[in-house]
Amino acid sequence: MTELNVPARKPARPHFSSGPCAKPPGWSPEKLYTESLGRSHRSKLGKGRIAYCLDLMREMLQLPDTHKIGIVPGSDTGAVEMAMWTMLGAKPVTTIAWESFGEGWVTDAVKQLRLDPTIIKADYGQLPDLAQVDWSNDVVFTWNGTTSGVRVPNADWIAADREGLAIADATSAVFAQEIAWDKVDVLTFSWQKVLGGEGAHGVLILGPRAVERLETYTPDRPLPKIFRLTKGGKLIDGIFTGATINTPSLLAIEDAIFSLEWVKSLGGLDGARARADANAAALDKIVQERDWLGHLAVDPASRSNTSVCLTVEGADTDLIKKMAKLLEEQDAAYDVAGYRDAPAGLRIWCGATVDAADVEALGPWLDWAYASAKAA
């Protein structure tokens, strides 16, 4: 391999993984509140910390009082599955997919729930024709395609007078993109994406129409205990006030609280969005200055400002693996290879917990890694 000069400046925090994502600037384990650790989540202290986490999420997301928010098992996947298994089947279903996670919800609707859904798809880098959606159906979609870098540009396509439920997997969209809460009946995410939190816990947000569905519809399938949201035909409201379905990690709760308090220090949601936009703009500048780099999401209107997916001229999986390995060995960038099911390319996380200066420092390192990998 031809030895090439490495760039002089490295990103101070080279954490560009799309999940778990970079911790907030200034994070350290010593800064976490630890009095709750080793205590029962049913204790006054434990329940109080969970309730505080819920209140912070509500405040930072600008979530209206009409919507309930709860912490559930299984990360974002668990939250989406919970919604699908408890609510789908009352009406026809439409599933929309333009990347791997959306494809996963299509597969579950077809093979596991056997719902015979209407399926609307697009290739990686493209957004489907959302005008095709029939809102007499329940609709399952990803707000931001984490593995393709394509997001819905807004909520205008969601019918205000919809008969079905709008069920959105928004795990890489919240705290970075505008969510129109009046257009969402179910929304899910996990802390390990845009908050830089720990994995295994999901967040489930229910609007009033979703609550009505849960209290009036009983699916004809068995439900595991961790999926059950109702008892005696009524919503188990404790799930949304701090009494979780099963034992949560209070360490993960405290970690999420740290991140949420950090978001609050930015001025809240607007500050977090501004950081993500600035990071995405810094990365776009790098792309525009290089003829060998491109965006997988061609249309800027539907291009993610968090999980930004890039094309690399002449790249195959092996070249991308070499680039990612070289960057990691130099502690210049971690975990930047595109998702395994996506076209060969790079994926750079630009969410709020990343610093724009670190994104800016990445450009010369990408040049070095590309040239080095090609010369190997």
pLDDT of residue 363: 98
- What distance in Å separates the CA atoms of residue 82 and residue 73, rounded to the nearest whole number? 9
pLDDT of residue 98: 96
Q: Choose one of 264, 297, 332: the last residue of a domain.
A: 264
Which residues constitute the domain of residue 181?
Answer: 29-264
pLDDT of residue 261: 98
- What distance in Å separates the CA atoms of residue 297 and residue 310, rounded to the nearest whole number? 8
Q: Choose one of 264, 287, 306: the last residue of a domain.
A: 264
88 lies in the same domain as 215: yes
206 lies in the same domain as 58: yes
> What is the count of structural domains for the chain?
2
DSSP letter at 168 equals E
pLDDT of residue 376: 85
pLDDT of residue 1: 44
178 lies in the same domain as 99: yes
Give the residues across from 347 on adjacent strands.
309
- What distance in Å separates the CA atoms of residue 320 and residue 336, rounded to the nearest whole number? 9
- CATH of residue 305's domain is 3.90.1150.10
Residue 6, domain member (yes or no) = no
36 lies in the same domain as 112: yes
The residue among 131, 97, 147, 91 whose CA lies nearest residue 115 is 91
- CATH of residue 150's domain is 3.40.640.10
227 lies in the same domain as 274: no
Give the residues across from 68 on adjacent strands.
206
Q: How many CB atoms lie within 10 A of CB 239?
A: 20
pLDDT of residue 3: 66
Along the 376 residues of the chain, how does pLDDT read in single tens digits?
456 889 999 999 999 999 999 999 999 999 999 999 999 999 999 999 999 999 999 999 999 999 999 999 999 999 999 999 999 999 999 999 999 999 999 999 999 999 999 999 999 999 999 999 999 999 999 999 999 999 999 999 999 999 999 999 999 999 999 999 999 999 999 999 989 999 999 999 999 999 999 999 999 999 999 999 999 999 999 999 999 999 999 999 999 999 999 999 999 999 999 999 999 999 999 999 999 999 999 999 999 999 999 999 999 999 999 999 999 999 999 999 999 999 999 999 999 999 999 999 999 999 999 999 999 8
Contacts of 371 (CB under 8 A, 6+ apart): 4
186 dihedral zone (left: phi>0; alpha: psi -120 to 50; beta): beta
Residue 286, domain member (yes or no) = yes
- What distance in Å separates the CA atoms of residue 190 and residue 9, rounded to the nearest whole number? 33
Residue 41, domain member (yes or no) = yes
pTM: 0.96
259 lies in the same domain as 277: no
The residue among 146, 72, 170 whose CA lies nearest residue 347 is 146
Q: How many CB atoms lie within 10 A of CB 221?
A: 13
Residue with tokens 């056997």: 114
Long-range contacts of 206-213, Cβ-Cβ distance < 8 Å, separation of 24 or more = 206/67, 206/68, 206/69, 206/70, 206/240, 207/66, 207/67, 207/181, 208/66, 208/67, 209/165, 209/185, 210/83, 210/87, 210/165, 210/185, 210/186, 211/68, 211/235, 213/87, 213/90, 213/165, 213/185
As a whole number of Å, the CA-based R_g of the chain is 21
The residue among 269, 297, 69, 80 whose CA lies nearest residue 176 is 269
